[in-house]
Amino acid sequence: MAEGKDHNNILDEVTSGEYKYGFYTDIEMDTAPKGLTEDTIRFISAKKNEPEWMLEFRLKAFKYWLTIAEPNWAHLHHPPIDYQDIIYYAAPKKKPSLSSLDEVDPELLDTFNKLGISLEEQKVLAGVAVDAVIDSVSVKTTFTETLSKKGIIFCSFSEAVREHPELVKKHMGSVVPYRDNYFAALNSAVFSDGSFCYIPKGVRCPVELSTYFRINAANTGQFERTLIVADEGSYVSYLEGCTAPQRDENQLHAAIVEIVAEHNAEVKYSTVQNWYPGDKEGKGGIYNFVTKRGLCRGNHSKISWTQVETGSAITWKYPSCVLKGDNSIGEFYSVAVTNNYQQADTGSKMIHLGKNTKSTIISKGISAGHSNNSYRGMVRVAKKATNSRNFSQCDSLLLGDKCGAHTFPYITTGNESSIVEHEATTSKISEDQLFYCQQRGIDSEKAISLIVNGYAKEVLNKLPMEFAVEAQKLLAITLEGSVG
């Protein structure tokens, strides 16, 4: 009928929402010259007053990086990255060590306020210790005192290198060696800063540890490094959330996250990623090449990854678990949304080495616009990992008819007593569902948001409360045309 909007038109409108967080904070920068040579690495190391061993680690990684080529197996297409056209170090000039929020640069606080993640609010309401990272250097750490009473270390990576060299030396690169892959080598050579977290034996971290990353200067590569060590019988929930301002140039991000869980330890790592995805025509946006891996080193240890990925022009990311300890558990819960011209190649690896190890992969891909969304997962059960169990479920939801969803599972089992299950579905938001909602008075934008949130619920439920609310909003913002 004349008034019936064409279904595709509705979806087009609804899915062409523009990035809401495009603004730029003007904080004076202290930057390295463009390009990557041994001198760049010495510059970074010197800037950070690093000990000799750290510099040596970087140089070894750099030399290795020079010998290898960028991987090209992912279902991603982008122009070649000019690694010499990138600034590898940028830090806010003021490097304050602060005891209260009042001392934080007001402009930075304002930035957080625009994002709706007021430190103050979080500190008071949510009880979250926030380690805010802006362009590679930790600016603010709260709750450190509360944490330190329990012996918990939560600080910037640089600080950890200075204050806790024995812990860093022992664990850095033990889960993701610099030889692991191209981007891991690059990160190991040039990483600027990041977070370090150590939970001592038997301690249950009383608050959720949180880091907000933000990329903030033109042509600045962002190379974060996070190391979380959960000692025997400890527990920690760690939150990572990201937003970035709108920029024209593509920005490279290659982070490393390493997690070590000893006997009976549990680590829950949650991410909401909302970096600038590029504009509606696919111009600009962040290139996000991340290596995230957890090692269940001890028996009965557990590592859970939960991620909501809505941003970045390109996402290359496979949070993984190496289940080395007997009876250890690995989990991966993911919602990845791509819109306009975004591309995501993401999934998980579960490597079963210990006996009776269990892993779960729940992946929900949502594609809209002209985007491409791929799930790539590997489940490997070693010969000695008897009686192991994996369950993988990969669902894809398509909005409109110009986007793509792909699934690439790789499964190998080395013994007869283990069970590996893989389920995959692809569906579209049906016209029936949309009309049913509309007939109840819910407009098409809200209806899509409702249906998508329902679809992703299984994963959203795994997020800590305050994060889940934010993630729901993000899904709506990403898919709705109400912003711009």
Name the site residues for another protein (rule: CB under 8 A).
Answer: 1-7, 430-433, 435-444, 446, 450-451, 453-458
Nearest distance from residue 3's CB to another protein, in Å?
4
Nearest distance from residue 226's CB to another protein, in Å?
31
Long-range contacts (CB closer than 8 Å, 24 or more residues apart) made by 105-114: 105/27, 105/139, 107/25, 107/26, 107/27, 108/25, 108/27, 108/132, 108/134, 108/139, 108/140, 110/25, 111/23, 111/25, 111/214, 112/212, 114/21, 114/23
Tell me whether residue 43 or residue 435 sits nearer to another protein (CB atom).
435
Tell me whether residue 156 or residue 444 sits nearer to another protein (CB atom).
444
Rounded to the nearest angstrom, the gap between the alpha carbon of residue 15 and the centroid of all alpha carbons in its chain is 23
Are 34 and 85 within 8 A, CB to CB?
Answer: yes
Tell me whether residue 218 or residue 437 sits nearer to another protein (CB atom).
437
Nearest distance from residue 365's CB to another protein, in Å?
15
Tell me whether residue 54 or residue 456 sits nearer to another protein (CB atom).
456
Nearest distance from residue 105's CB to another protein, in Å?
38
DSSP label of 122: I
Radius of gyration of the chain (CA): 22
Q: What tokens were used for 373?
A: 């969304």
Nearest distance from residue 14's CB to another protein, in Å?
13
Tell me whether residue 80 or residue 441 sits nearer to another protein (CB atom).
441
Nearest distance from residue 456's CB to another protein, in Å?
7
Tell me whether residue 158 or residue 478 sits nearer to another protein (CB atom).
478
Nearest distance from residue 359's CB to another protein, in Å?
23
Tell me whether residue 229 or residue 460 sits nearer to another protein (CB atom).
460
On the CB side of 246, how many CA atoms lie within 13 Å of its CA? 12
Strand partners, 321: 294, 350
- CA 212/CA 240 separation, integer angstroms: 6
Tell me whether residue 260 or residue 448 sits nearer to another protein (CB atom).
448
CB atoms within 10 A of CB 105: 18
Nearest distance from residue 231's CB to another protein, in Å?
37
Tell me whether residue 219 or residue 453 sits nearer to another protein (CB atom).
453
Nearest distance from residue 375's CB to another protein, in Å?
19
Q: What tokens were used for 111?
A: 């930035």
The beta strand positions in 282-387, using DSSP E, are 286-296, 302-309, 314-317, 320-323, 329-338, 343-346, 349-352, 358-367, 372-381
* Three-state secondary-structure class, residue 445: helix
- Tell me whether strands 320-323 and 349-352 are parallel, antiparallel or unpaired: parallel
